[in-house]
């Protein structure tokens, strides 16, 4: 199940970058968020010697970035 989640998160990150390149720069925030989720899940899956607090800070940064990206979506008036 975790592998499927990693694949889906990577797909969302790629699509968000493609959307950001089409005059929606706030989508880079979602791309970063999902790339961070991929890293976080890979760390859980592969269990490398990564500091737990580093992953927690990364997750928090990804969440804040997602908040700003969603705010950009909310403010976007394009059809």
Tens digits of residue pLDDT in 4-43? 999 999 999 999 999 999 988 889 999 999 999 999 899 8
Residue written as tokens 């607090």? 53
Q: Is the pTM of this model over 0.85?
A: no
* Domain boundaries of the chain, sorted by first residue: 2-75
Predicted pLDDT of residue 49: 83
Nearest Cα neighbor of 27 from 18, 39, 36 is: 18
Tens digits of residue pLDDT in 43-56? 889 988 877 788 88
Q: Contact, 55 vs 37, CB < 8 A? A: no
Question: In sequence order, what E strands does the chain have?
Answer: none
Residue written as tokens 């997602």? 66
């Amino acid at each position: 199940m975790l592998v499927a989640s990693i694949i889906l998160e990577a797909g969302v990150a790629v699509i968000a970058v493609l959307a950001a390149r089409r005059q929606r720069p706030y989508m880079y925030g979602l791309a970063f968020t999902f790339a961070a989720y991929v890293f976080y899940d890979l760390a859980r899956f592969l269990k490398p010697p990564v500091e737990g607090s580093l992953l927690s800070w990364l997750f928090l940064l990804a969440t804040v970035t997602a908040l700003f990206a969603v705010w950009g979506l909310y403010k976007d008036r394009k059809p």
